[in-house]
Chains A and B, each alone.
Chain A
Amino acid sequence: MKKVAAIFVTLLLSLLLSWQAAWADAADAAKSPRFGSKDYIWGEMLPEQAEVMKLTGDPQRGKEAFRGCRGCHKADAAGKTDGTYPRLTGQHASVIIKQVTEVRAGVRINPKMDPFSSDHAVSPQEIADIAVFLAAAETTRESGKGEGDFVARGQELYEQGKCVKCHGANGEGNAVKVYPAIAAQHYGYLKREMDYIQRGVRGNSHPDMVNAIEYFTQRDIEAVADYLSRLPDHRQSLAERKGK
């Protein structure tokens, strides 16, 4: 009975894949296991990710190449306040590279963005350029926030849980370890990603994070998202700490 179910799920998944991606992409995805598959190892670089990491990005060229992304992520790369499109300003270059190359390989599924970030739309060099441009990009736009009722609870959950170990006390993440910065991100997007990661459907999830967030209720997720969305940009917190 279990076997039948497994076959059924595999069939469903492969159907989903062929629907979401063109032939070649599906073949790539089959080569690159996703979270949930026994061959999945978080942090094992895909060939393209390794290739892009070796390139030297140029922010000026990156700004130009980012034009093809502005239609969704907006001209200031601050995304949409309601969280439909995430803020990309100040995200670590290594994280941007990981996300874009993993969307291309079908590890992280993002059918909305796929045709605009695929390998015929953006070259590896352009990914490197865009990544350094975004890491330094500034915006004056505020992030989208939650209701504000459970911010203190959100802080407590975030600081007492394992979250700080990876994402840092100021939500700054870690460029070297490729942990994303999550401070000042839009509430709607934070909530959605935590939900995806908890349910195991974000294909490039860190297994330890899945464990860390396993016991969160929907309310907890909302509280943490609200707290994080209200933190200042991590570069600002760093400057303040240095100033002290």
Chain B
Amino acid sequence: MRLTPHQICRSRLAGIAFLLPGILLSHGVAQAQAVPLAERLQLCAGCHNPDGNSIILENPKLSGLDAGYIVRQLRDFKSGIRKSPVMSTIIPMVDEKEFPALAEFFSKQQRKPGVAVDAKRAAQGKEIYDEGIDSSAVPACSGCHNDDGSGTDKYPRIGGQNSAYVIQQLMNFKSGERANDVKAVMRAVAKRMNEKDIRAVAEYMVTLKGEPE
């Protein structure tokens, strides 16, 4: 049985444990081994698309993210500080030395926005994104991430990001399951949001360009 990375990332939580031996077999050993960039990118492309604009809504777009940010996430997956059922099976195969080149590649790809499914919800999300929520003191997302979601070297690009992925991450920040945010700022923000706020803002964010002017 040889699994493509695409199949791996399609599979959900429960399936992973079951599939793990297959993955390990297909790659010989789980030991990290540096391989040429082009070959390694095939492993990422299955879930994130060759150009980093993942079409699977549960998976993040990596296109246009700051290279330093990507490296930090990869290191956190490797050390286990950031948990992900999918990435925890992939990351043991990748050598830490490969991180900078992979990050560099994806940072140079153009971010492509998606479309909102629910226009009314997206409009509520825009209000939160641009103005914040006064009653629960949620700061506006645009303050740090910019109006177009392009981000900076300190605050990641979130414009055009897949909505299902954004919802999952904000819920993880809210519960504290994801705790690798610098200065604990995102946990503070997400704790002040309810699930409805989170769904609305995610619906709006997917429509943002993400690429700076």
What is A's interface to B at a CB cutoff of 8 Å?
A: 67-72, 74-75, 80, 82, 84, 112-113, 115-116, 120-121
Q: Does B35 contact A (CB under 8 A)?
A: no
Which of B72-80, B98-106, B180-188, B193-201 binds A?
A: B180-188
CB distance from B58 to the nearest CB of A (A): 27
CB distance from B19 to the nearest CB of A (A): 39
| B114-143 Cβ-contact flags toward A at 8 Å (1 or 0) | 000000000000000000101001111111
| B123-167 Cβ-contact flags toward A at 8 Å (1 or 0) | 000000000101001111111100000001011000000000000
CB distance from A70 to the nearest CB of B (A): 3
- Assess whether A71 is in contact with B142, with CB atoms less than 8 Å apart: yes
Q: Which chain A residue shows the least CB distance to B147? A: A75
Q: Given known contacts A68-B144, A70-B144, A75-B143, is B188 in contact with A116 (CB within 8 Å)? A: yes
CB distance from A117 to the nearest CB of B (A): 11
- Assess whether B183 is in contact with A72, with CB atoms less than 8 Å apart: no
Q: Given known contacts A71-B144, A72-B139, is B185 in contact with A116 (CB within 8 Å)? A: yes
- Assess whether B184 is in contact with A72, with CB atoms less than 8 Å apart: no
- Could you say which interface size class chain B belongs to? 10 to 19
- 10 pairs of A and B residues whose beta carbons are closest in the complex: A71-B139, A71-B143, A70-B143, A115-B188, A112-B137, A71-B140, A121-B183, A72-B139, A84-B134, A67-B144
CB distance from A109 to the nearest CB of B (A): 13
Q: Which residues of A contact B154 (CB under 8 A)?
A: 67
What is B's interface to A at a CB cutoff of 8 Å?
A: 132, 134, 137-144, 152, 154-155, 183-185, 188
How many pairs of residues, A versus B, come closer than 8 Å at their CB atoms?
A: 48
- Assess whether A71 is in contact with B183, with CB atoms less than 8 Å apart: no
Complex Cα distance A121/B182, Å? 8
Q: Which chain A residue shows the least CB distance to B139? A: A71
Complex Cα distance A82/B135, Å? 13
- Assess whether B152 is in contact with A67, with CB atoms less than 8 Å apart: yes
Q: Which residues of A contact B188 (CB under 8 A)?
A: 115-116
- Assess whether B155 is in contact with A115, with CB atoms less than 8 Å apart: no
Q: Report which residue of A74, A113, A116, A121 has the largest number of chain B beta carbons within 10 angstroms of its beta carbon.
A: A116
- Assess whether B183 is in contact with A120, with CB atoms less than 8 Å apart: yes
Complex Cα distance A69/B185, Å? 11
Q: Which chain B residue shows the least CB distance to A110? A: B137
Q: Which residues of B contact A70 (CB under 8 A)?
A: 139-140, 142-144
CB distance from B192 to the nearest CB of A (A): 9
Q: Which residues of B contact A74 (CB under 8 A)?
A: 140, 143
Q: Which residues of A contact B184 (CB under 8 A)?
A: 115, 120-121
Q: Which residues of B contact A71 (CB under 8 A)?
A: 132, 138-144
Please name 10 further chain A to chain B contacts, defined as beta carbons within 8 Å, in addition to the given A69-B143, A74-B140, sorted by A numbering.
A67-B152, A71-B132, A71-B142, A75-B143, A80-B134, A113-B137, A116-B139, A116-B188, A121-B183, A121-B185
- Assess whether B155 is in contact with A72, with CB atoms less than 8 Å apart: no
Complex Cα distance A75/B132, Å? 13
Q: Which residues of B contact A68 (CB under 8 A)?
A: 143-144, 183, 185
